[in-house]
Amino acid sequence: MSVAPSQLPAHIAIIMDGNGRWAKQRKLPRIEGHRRGVETVRAITDATRELGIRYLTLYAFSVENWKRPEEEVGALMGLLEFFLKRETKAMIKNRVRLLAIGRIHELPERVRTQLIAAMKATERFTDYTLVLALNYGARTEVVDAARAYATAVAAGKEKLNDSSWETFRRYLYTADIPDPDLVIRTSGESRVSNFLLLQAAYAEFIFTPVLWPDFTKGELLAACAEFARRERRYGQTSEQLKPVPSALAP
Ligand code: FPP
One digit per residue, the tens of pLDDT, for the chain of length 250 reads 789 999 999 999 999 999 999 999 999 999 999 999 999 999 999 999 999 999 999 999 999 999 999 999 999 999 999 999 999 999 999 999 999 999 999 999 999 999 999 999 999 999 999 999 999 999 999 999 999 999 999 999 999 999 999 999 999 999 999 999 999 999 999 999 999 999 999 999 999 999 999 999 999 999 999 999 998 778 887 787 877 666 555 5
| Listed residue (145, 127, 136) closest to 62, CA to CA | 136
* Annotated catalytic residue, options 46, 65, 194, 214: 65
Residue-level pLDDT at 248? 57
* Phi (first) and psi of residue 100, to 5 degrees: -130, 145
Check if 65 is active-site. yes
Q: Whose CA is nearest to atom 1 of ligand 1?
A: 17
Could you tell me if the CB of 38 is within 6 A of ligand 1? yes
pLDDT at position 242, please?
75
Tell me, using a 6 A CB cutoff, whether residue 54 lines ligand 1.
no
Task: Give dist(CA 122, CA 136) in Å, integer.
Answer: 21
What is the set of domains in the chain, with CATH numbers? 7-137+179-232 (3.40.1180.10)
